[in-house]
Structure 1
Amino acid sequence: MEKAPSPLPPSRQRMSKLTTFCGLSLLFFLFVVPPRYSDDLSLRLTWDSEPADAAATLSRCRALKAQAGPPDDFHKRSESDRFVPGTKPLLIKRAKIWTGRSNGTEVVHGDILLDKGIIKSVGHLNAAILKAYETNLVIVDAKGAWVTPGIVDIHSHLGDAPSPALDGAEDDNSPNGTIQPWLRSLDGLNTHDISYQLSITGGVTTSLILPGSGNAIGGQAFVIKLRSTDERTPTSMLLEPPYTINTSLPNPNLPPRWRHMKHACGENPGGEYKDTRMDTNWAFREAYKKASDIKEKQDEYCSLAMAGKWKGLGEYPEDIQWEALVDVVRGRVKINVHCYEAVDLDAMVRLSNEFQFPIAAFHHASEAYLVPELLNRTYGGPPAIALFATNSRYKREAYRSSEFAPRILAQNGIKVLLKSDHPISNSRYLLYEAQQAFYYGFPQNLAIASVTSNAAEVMGMGHRVGYIQEGWDADLVIWDSHPLALGATPSQVFIDGIAQLQDAYVVQKPRNYQELPKVPNFDKQAQEAVEYEGLPPIAPKKATCDTTVFTNVKSIYKPNSNTVEMQFSAATLAELGVAVAQNGTLVCSGTHTDCLSSFDYTCATFVDLEGGSIAPGLVSFGSPLGLHHIEAEDSTNDGDVFDPLLKPTPKILGGDTAIVRAADGLLFGTRDAYLAYRVGVTSGITAPTHKNFYSGLGVSFSLGAAHKLEAGAVIQEVTAVHVSVRHFSKPSVSTQIATLRRLLLGPQEGASGYWFQKVVEGEIPLVVEAHSANIITTLIILKREVEVRTRRPMKMTITGGAEAHLLARELALADVGVILNPARPFPYAWEDARILPGPPISKDSAIMKLISNGVTVGVGCEEIWSARNLPFDVAWVGVLSPKIELKD
């Protein structure tokens, strides 16, 4: 059909067509092409009405793309945000400075100038710099001592699991759900934890306070500095708190600060909520899906808002419960994951890729060294691995842990950190973790960096702590020896330029303690750890010959009565000696001439000690070594004895007068026993495992034996009667003492009566676990009461003994020995609170206070894994004891 002719003249027809074209173009512009938004445009067309808070919303939308971290000009600051007015500038002279730079390899000999809470200059300072400070400058002469950045703890519950522990003070785990990203460790941070000052005396200046691992997502973590503040609040301890801490909006002119969050996988969240690994990982995915959905809605909202399309937008989509997890998927939160085994590490790596978020660090990570390629597949790059040095095998997940993990991971390009998990491990001795890792082959630069610069970087604070560099926070430690030397102790600690130690006690050490310690070569053992997936064969090899010849011996020590005496000492390296052992007995020691000409060596094993020493084997005591394979796995253990103070003992066992022998439940061939045996802990004394008052009869056994029928496996069938008197053991302490009095002085009945009679007659000792000075005092009085009644000396030993130093003289007069356990006491509970901390807080350590008063003292082991560290513990006693002479 043809079109009808237009009624308009040609000129009007052309104008009508032009008008129609312009109108269609305008409609196309309005409805098809969205207007562009420009921050600098002061006048723009707006076709939807803007809400009153449009500027704030747009600012918030722009901030969504900002990456977390410090402002570009952070190091141009002239004063720290934590500077305390009135703090004087300070110059540390003649220091050997480990700066943390160049991957921890840079050492500078020079000075450090601190002012207004920051480091102003490092190295050789010119006169012009110092002239401005000459009237108000505090000068500290380091005299060539090592200075490092303050120790940074990447994993701590300090304040949230405070010491001494009390039922109402634990705030590190919530029982209210598997997934709780909205919780904050800050809200449970107890400022009265006595560990703050103790940890400072170990050089710790900064800690990441994590929620516990009872939840899959336990909540948000916070970085604190440990020094006390005039404000006395948790908030005043925070280092760079997130801008959202009080739900306020971030400063749009600054990049957001790093946030932190705790995740946990594997046994811990499953144990708390009876979830399987499948349950936990679905809970993770469900939570991350919700957070991702919120993120997408926010991004869509902001896309429309930035385009000026306000009509129908409504309010900005957010949920205060999930906002922290939304920030995780935006890559602005440092995620720290409690995760041990490959199965769990694998699940978390998959989760990170599914929802595209990075992981800052896996913690504990006992099998990480076996799966480095898996770690490299984590979204955003491999996480750091935060480890204990030797704390292992306490549960199944930790069974394949290796002391060689730090070096193996480092060789695979993975960043390794050492952590405390305070109070699981006392953070005062976090540097000791680095020392142990170094001993087993972790490079020296990385060992120190693992608790300073690298730890700071992983927690997102490497721009201000962890280094000694101009513009960084004035957190420093002056050490009395090389930081990797066993027993290295601060002579001064500075936090924000403020000295933390008053009248520090410093033990004078030999010159060679300023040098890097020599360590063995463990290349073969590290290789075997991977080859055997963490379980290399470690059973002692049986000698094929009865004679063993030790060559290049520097010194020989032998027991003599109640002491150990030096029998041989080489005057020079050229005069190293020889020792010969036959059938396990040392039969000759001295020069080559003395020994090598006196025996038939047709069948002999030769061992080159390379200048080492021979000493009696050490004895482990205090842990259930020999009764446990894996502490948390009942099926691998002997189990706990019945306690008649709590419920009747079965008649078939003999009723309440029954007594149990540890010898009957011995488990030979445990990994912890063999590992201890390899380092010279040749025997153990163990009491029946218990949790309350009653224990039973202890046993002495060989840690190197494969089974009980092996010759010498059981050294002494019964060593002592063991009980425990503690406030944790219910009923009351007075009831426990009354029970003990009756067992000692009342009518002797049954098996227990037989053995307590032997205690009364002085034939075997009574070993009592006690920590409180009040309880120990009562035990001393009870011992006197028994001795007055029987007119015989009674043998008593206290084990634990956190407050025993308060009664050093009384214990000596009563002839009561003490086995300190741990050897460096810590105020775990109220009854442990009055510890003697030792240098740098007190001149004497607990052990030296007891020894100097004539008390017979032993060094105990808290847990079965720590028996292998007994040589370190004994050496530490000597290093920090001014009354024990140390030679170069």
Structure 2
Amino acid sequence: MAEGDSTVIDAQGAWLTPGIIDMHSHLSVESSPGLSGAQDGNSIKGPVVPWLRALDALNTHDEGFLHAISGGVTTSLILPGSLNAIGGQGYVMKMRPTKERSPTSMLLEPPYGLNGSDPDPNVPPRWLHMKHACGENPRNYGDTRMDTVWAVRNAYNTARAIKDAQDDYCAKATSGDWASIRNQKFPESLQWDAMVEILRGRVKVQTHCYEALDIDNFVRISNEFQFSVAAFHHAHEAYLVPDVLKRAYKNVPAVAMFSTFSRYKREAYRHSEFAPRLLAKEGIDVVMKSDHPAIVSRNLVHEAAVAHYYGLPEHIALASVISTPAKVLGLDHRIGFIAEGYDADVVLWDSHPLALGATPTQVFIDGIPQLPNAHVAPKPAEHQRAPSTPDFSHEAAVTLKYDGLPPLTPKRKEGVVVFTNVTKFWQADASQDDVVDVFGGHHPGDPGVVAVERGRVVCAGSHSVCASRLAPADAEVVDLQGGAVQPGLTSYGSSLGLAEIALESSTGDGRVNDPLEPNQSALLGLGGYLAKAADGLQFGTRDAWLAYRSGVTLSVTSPLHDGWLSGLSVAFTPGAPHRLAQGAVVRDVVALHCTLGHGDPGPSVSTKIAVLRRLLTERVEGELGGWFQQVANGSIPLVVDVGSADIIASLISLKKEVEQKAGSTMKLTIASASEAHLIADELADAGVGVIVTPPRSYPYTWDEHRILPGPPLSSDSLIGHLLKHNVTVGLGPHGIAAPSHPDAAHMAVWSTRNLRFDAGEAMLDAGSGVLSKSKALALASVNVERLLGLEFDPEDRDLVATIGGDLLDFGGKVAAVISPRQGVVDIFV
């Protein structure tokens, strides 16, 4: 290449990787924003539809393409959904737009014949991918597992009969036995052609299977009909049965999986965060995937980073989203590596790709830059190397010992516990408005000590200052190895504590009635009622324990609902054994909650706001009216889950109207708030704060299509922008669906444990100087509490001790919860 034709980029020592490859995505077949006319992920025509093609549903207007690129994703396998036992054909796409603007032009190595090309039997095939699904998902047709397995076997038997007939025809033709086939056509079927090609080894099988029994079923089928399986997807129990995987026909399938997304249904109940490391130890290829939009593909590298945090080696974690999926897709001859002759799909990063919040500064697809104006703030120096992660060897071994369900209860200590080698001690200040470093400029040569008795800090300072507290013979000493003590986090936005398994109704509280629904029971009274989440609480759920063991010491949960009015939330301790235990229920009633969105079930948005106006400005008799009067006079907050800036503006106007009439200040908090940046000044002027969920905005619905995506697509993140405009901001965990989706709160439960990483990532996305670590901790603790009307004496706040780092990085491991509410220290190490 001539010098004048080249562009030289000085990377200044930055990390450069091949493009990220998402091996399980529904991008463009389940489009964003989620308009009904653009959702083509599943067929409802029957359990077996191998003749359907995802290509025929690829929507190139999906806003998710640019978001995927902003996370470094350059290539994705686009699969049909999982409602069918055999759901159809998947295709590999490059993410970049083309001049032709067509789906066909975005395909990578389209299979022979698709574009008029002729297959050449002397060269490797251009791979087609066939989506299969096992277990619960095909039950949408009323099928049991036995029905589903029979449907799959019958389909393969049909394909095998066609293949055998073809082979017989060809054998007679090549032997010159023309008389036998003179009046016969070559046996073929357009419907079953792709299945026949599976048996000929020219189509890769990608199968959605969760549990051991489903994996075993599919392995038996692969041997019965002699076809290889490219990968088991989701495969939450694969780590428990590596020998079953190794029995699959001809090759050991890869496992395409999540890091911590689990327990949302029975099949996912035994998933473990240690699954990637355990599978890799068995020599099984590990692929981290998004299942976009279940996890937005922009965050795929974060999935690999979390797997690395829990013990997946650095090189395997990076390979899990780069070279391993390239190999499994049969495309490692052109993607997944930076080498001469390979596609120029490369990503330049602002930090090590496995560092928290790693962001591309440029993404090249086929040598073409995709981010003309990348906005990236400088990252700390320590982010330029792979994170130094904790040792979870013991926890991983115990997980296997207990068949995926290890004990999660801590060792409880009421007496003296002394934490040594403490680098930082953050605590809420007396005003409850911020989190401050108690140690301040503590000299690093004099190790910090925090001494605790009956769950309360009795001394914090240097070793010499707290020496008298180290004397009791029964004192337990926990070495934090340079770690930290910080406020426990407060979760809002999930249904934590209302179900053991989110989508198993028999394990949960259920959904409350919508008061706007007709034909309400007379038992509810003329004025209606409001459900209290406190009445449906469940303690000891695995998600609650995992959240607690990850630093979440308080959860505010509102009742589940399908309509607009949820009910009254409760504040509880996820680590309490039952609701009657000391400190279990922190506040019986916290706030009144409702949801407003265009396209939500029931009457119009304007009707619902009219009802709110009446309930807040008139004396409506009954329980419902009584609670709304408490909102109107400022006794409890009204929390509205809403994305649209227009609806938020209407709520601000309603607040002013109520205040003018009542003569008191109404507490209004906006949750979700995806478009809140559009009216940030108005929110600040009205004294309305927001709890941002999810932490990184995404255009799930039309109400959220005007988002501020954050770096590298915008210089400001939503959180950073709101803070700059003096809006009080709290943070909620990631879910898997639009916040207005009826299952959003349920499906966010698993992610509560990752709130610590969400807060750390929000700190980095907000840009330099916007959020310090102390303010980022406040974002997920005191700020959320203030927005929900919760106020605590600093001495009554739970604290979290971490080994080796803090809650906001990949170096810290939660060692204990210091709980004055419960009067104990819960120790996990």
TM-score calculated relative to the size of structure 1: 0.84
1:317 alignment counterpart? 187
Within a 5 Å distance, the mapping from 1:2-401 to structure 2 comes to 132-245=1-114, 249-251=118-120, 254-270=123-139, 272-313=140-181, 314-401=184-271
1:275 maps to a residue whose letter is D
Match of 1:784 among 656, 676, 681: 656
2:620 maps to a residue whose letter is Q
Preserved CA contact (<8 Å) 2:631 2:637: yes
Match of 1:725 among 583, 596, 614: 596
2:665 alignment counterpart? 793
What SS class does the counterpart of residue 149 from structure 2 fall into? helix
Match of 2:635 among 745, 763, 767: 763
1:597 alignment counterpart? 468
Preserved CA contact (<8 Å) 2:451 2:469: no
Deviation at 1:799, TM superposition (A): 0.6
2:484 maps to a residue whose letter is S
Preserved CA contact (<8 Å) 1:649 1:655: no
Larger RCO (CA within 8 A; separation ≥ 6): 2
CA distance in 1, matches of 2:221, 2:3: 58
CA distance in 1, matches of 2:627, 2:524: 16
Preserved CA contact (<8 Å) 1:625 1:673: yes
Within a 5 Å distance, the mapping from 1:602-681 to structure 2 comes to 602-681=473-552
What SS class does the counterpart of residue 452 from structure 2 fall into? strand
Preserved CA contact (<8 Å) 2:446 2:463: no
Match of 1:881 among 763, 766, 778: 766
Deviation at 1:267, TM superposition (A): 0.2
Within a 5 Å distance, the mapping from 1:428-439 to structure 2 comes to 428-439=298-309
Within a 5 Å distance, the mapping from 1:573-584 to structure 2 comes to 573-584=444-455
Deviation at 1:245, TM superposition (A): 1.8
1:715 alignment counterpart? 586
Counting matched residue pairs gives: 755
Given the superposition, is the C-alpha separation of residues 471 and 571 from structure 1 closer, same or farther in structure 2, using an over 3 Å criterion? farther
Preserved CA contact (<8 Å) 2:720 2:765: no
Q: Deviations over 1:416-466 (max 9, x none)?
A: 100000011100010000000000000100000000000111011111111
1:871 alignment counterpart? 756
Q: Deviations over 1:297-329 (max 9, x none)?
A: 111111111122223423211000000000001
CA distance in 1, matches of 2:617, 2:275: 54
Which stretch of structure 1 is more off in the superposition, 788-797 or 652-661? 652-661
CA distance in 1, matches of 2:442, 2:589: 43
CA distance in 2, matches of 1:495, 1:807: 36
What SS class does the counterpart of residue 597 from structure 1 fall into? helix
1:256 maps to a residue whose letter is P
What SS class does the counterpart of residue 630 from structure 1 fall into? coil
Q: Deviations over 1:459-502 (max 9, x none)?
A: 11111111111111000000000011010000000000000001
Q: Deviations over 1:350-408 (max 9, x none)?
A: 00000000000000101100000000000012100000000000000000000000000
2:143 maps to a residue whose letter is D
1:496 alignment counterpart? 366
Deviation at 1:581, TM superposition (A): 1.8
2:6 maps to a residue whose letter is L
What SS class does the counterpart of residue 212 from structure 1 fall into? coil
Q: Percent identity at matched positions?
A: 55
Q: Deviations over 1:716-770 (max 9, x none)?
A: 1110111111121321111111111111112221111111111111111111111
CA distance in 2, matches of 1:244, 1:633: 44
Preserved CA contact (<8 Å) 2:613 2:654: yes
Given the superposition, is the C-alpha separation of residues 849 and 315 from structure 1 closer, same or farther in structure 2, using an over 3 Å criterion? same
Within a 5 Å distance, the mapping from 1:455-466 to structure 2 comes to 455-466=325-336
What SS class does the counterpart of residue 271 from structure 2 fall into? coil
Preserved CA contact (<8 Å) 2:724 2:770: no
CA distance in 1, matches of 2:655, 2:304: 44
- The answer to whether structure 1 residue 697 and structure 2 residue 571 are counterparts is no
What SS class does the counterpart of residue 696 from structure 1 fall into? strand
- The answer to whether structure 1 residue 812 and structure 2 residue 684 are counterparts is yes
- The answer to whether structure 1 residue 557 and structure 2 residue 429 are counterparts is no
Match of 2:410 among 513, 529, 540: 540
2:819 alignment counterpart? none
Q: Deviations over 1:760-817 (max 9, x none)?
A: 1111111111110011000000000001111211101001111111111111111011
Preserved CA contact (<8 Å) 1:570 1:576: no
Deviation at 1:571, TM superposition (A): 5.2
CA distance in 2, matches of 1:593, 1:519: 30
Preserved CA contact (<8 Å) 1:573 1:611: no
2:65 maps to a residue whose letter is Y
What SS class does the counterpart of residue 230 from structure 1 fall into? coil
Preserved CA contact (<8 Å) 1:359 1:383: yes
Given the superposition, is the C-alpha separation of residues 761 and 389 from structure 1 closer, same or farther in structure 2, using an over 3 Å criterion? same
CA distance in 1, matches of 2:180, 2:355: 67
1:444 maps to a residue whose letter is E
CA distance in 2, matches of 1:145, 1:848: 25
2:794 alignment counterpart? none
Which stretch of structure 1 is more off in the superposition, 311-320 or 822-831? 311-320
What SS class does the counterpart of residue 575 from structure 1 fall into? coil
Deviation at 1:135, TM superposition (A): 1.9
1:484 alignment counterpart? 354
Given the superposition, is the C-alpha separation of residues 886 and 685 from structure 1 closer, same or farther in structure 2, using an over 3 Å criterion? closer
What SS class does the counterpart of residue 301 from structure 2 fall into? helix
Preserved CA contact (<8 Å) 2:619 2:629: no
Q: Deviations over 1:245-275 (max 9, x none)?
A: 25764245644311111000100011x2000
TM-score calculated relative to the size of structure 2: 0.90
CA distance in 2, matches of 1:371, 1:874: 35
Deviation at 1:648, TM superposition (A): 3.5
Deviation at 1:599, TM superposition (A): 6.6
Which stretch of structure 1 is more off in the superposition, 247-256 or 438-447? 247-256
Deviation at 1:602, TM superposition (A): 3.3
CA distance in 1, matches of 2:527, 2:200: 63
Preserved CA contact (<8 Å) 2:695 2:731: yes
What SS class does the counterpart of residue 138 from structure 1 fall into? coil
Deviation at 1:215, TM superposition (A): 0.3
CA distance in 2, matches of 1:325, 1:841: 42
Report the aligned-residue RMSD: 1.4
1:29 alignment counterpart? none
Preserved CA contact (<8 Å) 1:648 1:655: no
Q: Deviations over 1:628-658 (max 9, x none)?
A: 1111100000010010212343222335521
- The answer to whether structure 1 residue 587 and structure 2 residue 458 are counterparts is yes
Match of 1:831 among 673, 687, 703: 703
1:126 alignment counterpart? none
Deviation at 1:548, TM superposition (A): 1.6
CA distance in 2, matches of 1:351, 1:573: 62
Preserved CA contact (<8 Å) 1:771 1:801: yes
Which stretch of structure 1 is more off in the superposition, 430-439 or 465-474? 465-474
CA distance in 2, matches of 1:217, 1:798: 43
CA distance in 1, matches of 2:636, 2:693: 21
Unaligned runs of 5+ in 1: 1-131
Preserved CA contact (<8 Å) 1:644 1:656: no
Unaligned runs of 5+ in 2: 736-747, 774-808, 810-829
